[in-house]
Amino acid sequence: SIAMTTKRGLFVVLEGMDRAGKSSQCRRLVDHLNSIGHRTELMRFPERDSAIGSLIGQYLGRKIELDDHAVHLLFSANRWEFRPHILDTLASGVNIVCDRYAYSGIAFTAAKADGPDFHWCCQPEVGLPAPDLKIFLSVSPEAQASRGGFGAERYEVADFQRRVGEAYARLMRLEDQAGGSCPAWLTINADGAFEEVQQQLAKAVVAAIDCPRSAGPPAGLR
């Protein structure tokens, strides 16, 4: 056949703790990629603009209480409801930069004292589209503190954030041990100036966009 095949889009996920500058970096990165001709869409999780996302927003804003397992499944369901959109977007050749994904889901629930078990937390994510590139924006407690306090939402508490950091570290260790010749995660230190961090990010993502990719959909998370 002489049909033109569109290279599918790259699926990039950014993770990191509060105050790492994740959302601002994601927005800037998407603008930059589009400006140099790489069509790219910004996504975020939780995506509060859906029925499921609205419940999550109410939970984070302390308007409602939910069992830890139930809210974990809502966060996961919020990703599953956007799975068709993710796959269609990538298939159309558009890249996705995603502000948080399944790794936030696992790290935040697993960080809860007396909460659901780590392995239980991983199960609802199995089968979701796997990212091609996972970037962790790390931030030191000092830089975190200097960036002016946490917000008022449920998880924005220093001690809990420390536990989230430990859960992320466990997750990344597990994935790096799972095999493959290169680390599963790229960690970028975000203590420095916004522009420096942005340059490192853009360089890594543009390199990944230029890499060969299979035309089919991404594999499922395992």
Positions touching ligand 2DT (CB under 6 A) are: 45-46, 60, 75, 100, 104-105, 108, 155
Considering the complex, state which of residue 110 and residue 209 has its C-beta at the smaller distance from ligand 2DT.
110
Closer by beta carbon to ligand 2DT, 45 or else 185: 45
For the bound state, the minimum distance from the C-beta of residue 67 to ligand 2DT, rounded and expressed in Å, comes to 14
**Residue closer to ligand 2DT (CB basis): 65 or 180:** 65
CA torsion sign for 193, 196, 200, 201 is: positive
The nearest distance, CB 97 to ligand 2DT, in angstroms, is 14
Smallest distance, ligand 2DT to C-beta of residue 6, A: 29
Residues 164-179 as b/e (b if ≥16 CB within 10 A, e otherwise) read: bbebbeebbeebeeee
Encode 37-56: b = buried (16+ Cβ within 10 Å), e = exposed.
ebebbbbbbbbbeeebbebb
Task: Choose between 126 and 207: whose C-beta lies nearer to ligand 2DT.
Answer: 126
Query: Residue 140: helix, strand or coil by DSSP?
Result: coil
For the bound state, the minimum distance from the C-beta of residue 166 to ligand 2DT, rounded and expressed in Å, comes to 15
Q: What's the closest the beta carbon of residue 58 comes to ligand 2DT, in angstroms?
A: 12
In the complex with ligand 2DT, the residue whose CB is nearer, 76 or 209, is 76
Positive/negative CA dihedral, 95, 127, 83, 107:
negative
What contacts 19, CB < 8 A, 6 or more positions away? 139, 143, 144, 147, 150
